[in-house]
Amino acid sequence: MAETASASDDSWRQGPVAVLVSGGPDSAILVGELAETCPRVVPIYIRFGMFWENAEEQALRRFLAALPAAAVVPLQVFEMPLAAVYGPHWSTTGDAVPDADSPDAAVYLPGRNLLLLAQAGVWCHLQEIPVIALGLLKGNPFPDSTDSFFASFQTASNIAVGGNLRIVRPYQHLTKTQVLQRGKALPLGLTWSCMRPIDGLHCGRCNKCAERKKAFARAGVADFTSYYVNGA
C-alpha cells in the first residue's frame, strides 16, 4: 500500500502544492507557512452547501488578501452540494448546531475528507499539481483522518486517473496550540471557525467558537476574532 508523505519528508516543498483550505486557523496557517518555502501555493475551497460557507469564504478571501507572499495564487472554489446526501442535517440547515457543551463527535461530517479530496485530486491531476496538503492535526478522531485512509485514498485516486498525486499532512504530529504558535505572526483574526454565523460574525456559542477561544488562550496568542456573543 502506498504511504502518504511523512511530516519530516520535505521533498514535496520544492514544487507547487495545493492546500485544501476551510477558512479555519489550521489550514490558513498552513497556506501562510508553505508560501515561505514553496514556489507556488494553490488554495482550494470546496463549497458543500453548509450553513456557514458564505461567511467562511469571505473570511478566507480576506485572510489570503492580507498575505504578503507572492507564491499564493488566487483561490480556487469548487462546488459539491451535499444537501441531497446529508438531508436535513444541522450543517446545511443551521438548526440545532452543536453548542459549546457538545462533544467533538457531534461536529463530525461523514466522509468530508473523502469528498474534499475526490474533487480536488482530479483537478490537481489535470493541472499537473503533484501535491495536496491538508492542515489536519494530531489526535483527529474521525475515520477519514487516519493514516490508512489517506494511504488508501492516495493509491486509489492515482489508479483511477493514472496519476502520481501525493497527499501530505505537515501538522499531523502537532496540536492546535503548537500550530497557532507557529502562525501567531499571521492575521489570524481574519480566519473563520464558526458553524452558525450571526450578522457575519462568529456566534460565540457553537462548538467551534468555544474550541477557537480555548485554543487561542492555551497558545497564548491574542484572539482578535469578532464574536457576536462575547464571553460565551
Task: Say what the pLDDT of residue 232 is.
Answer: 41
Task: Say what the pLDDT of residue 8 is.
Answer: 54
For the chain, 232 residues long, the average pLDDT of each consecutive 10-residue run is: 50 94 96 94 97 97 91 95 92 94 89 94 97 94 92 96 96 95 96 95 95 96 90 42
With beta carbons less than 8 A apart as the criterion, state whether 15 and 46 touch: no
pTM exceeding the 0.75 threshold for the entire prediction: yes
Task: Say what the pLDDT of residue 178 is.
Answer: 96
- Homologous superfamily assigned to 14-219: HUPs (3.40.50.620)
Domains of the chain, residue spans: 14-219
**Closest alpha carbon to 80 in 121, 126, 25:** 121
